[in-house]
Structure 1
């Protein structure tokens, strides 16, 4: 019987990775996917938007997706590494 917790099974995102994502990768992908050159990335990446429940501010971030039959499977930041899922 293993005593490993579910959180230890998945790797956590480091602060350096999070900083690179927020300051460089996300802004670059946002601009690219909103431009006429979106075809360069839109085959694998889409934009997810939501409105903050308390603030009313619209947030948009890129996410990787894959087709599974007629459905889309979207990969987002693990629950333990983000707060956006608390918005519902």
Structure 2
């Protein structure tokens, strides 16, 4: 299965996504913050990055510069 890097600013959502993705066989690496996301993207070589943050656009561009072929899934939750 895939190695997925996850950054979510809500712990309950992060925990739920991690549990669901792991239950179907994926390896999930959770980034604690933006710096950690950038570091782990370079170090861990994930198959995809999943981001849920208010400033998704800037992170998306950073990740695409670091690893142009890496799929980046972005979403923002409604308040």
| Smaller-chain TM-score bracket | under 0.3
Greater Rg, structure 1 or structure 2?
1
Q: Which has the higher helix share?
A: 2
Q: TM-score, normalised by structure 1?
A: 0.25
State the structure with bigger RCO (CA 8 A, min sep 6), 1 or 2: 2
Q: TM-score, normalised by structure 2?
A: 0.27
